[in-house]
Amino acid sequence: MTQPLRVGNGFDIHAFVDDASWSATPGRPLVLGGVVFDAERPLVGHSDADVITHAVAEALLGAAGLGDIGALFPDTDPRWEGADSLELLAEVVSRLTGAGWAVVNVDCSVVAERPKLAPHRSEIETRLSRVVGAPVTVKGRRGEGLGALGRSEGIACWATALISELGTDEGNG
């Protein structure tokens, strides 16, 4: 008997902090897929503003029908201020497993003029895959000068997740 599969799509977008805010908040790093990009302007957000990790979480939650990260980790709650998004993703995966689902894979498309993802792609994929417990792939794309993303005003990420229902022989039931 085949296991039911479900697909979820996730999206996240954050603007870069402006130069005045960046100099006023030293120490806030740019984090993408759990990797810190030194000497890069960070993104605006309540948590660490990790657009890749947020999109992965949204895709997983959507696939399992478990809501969204805004409901689980609202930006109005001071507990999540500056939160490590990999820890939030780990909680999402725990909820997914608790609901009887396992991650098959996740694929991400990131749109950013900068920074270049290629030198860090392997590390990003490794960190995300470790937390998710399944392969996560990341592809970088440029906005080619079009719109806010093309003008380097922020970064966006789309993620697609495939999940499979856990069977009783896998310890869930």
Q: What is the CATH number of the domain that holds 21?
A: 3.30.1330.50
Instruction: For residue range 14-53, list pLDDT tens digits in order.
Output: 999 986 565 556 678 999 999 999 889 999 999 999 999 9
Q: Number of folded domains in the chain?
A: 1
Which has the minimum average pLDDT: 26-40, 41-55, 94-108, 141-155?
A: 26-40
**Boundaries of domain holding 78:** 5-170
CB contact at 8 A, 161 and 8: yes
Confidence of residue 135 (pLDDT cuts 50, 70, 90): very high
CB contact at 8 A, 61 and 130: no
Averaged pLDDT for residues 136-152: 94
CB contact at 8 A, 50 and 31: yes
CB contact at 8 A, 6 and 101: yes
Q: Which two tokens stand for residue 20?
A: 């005045």
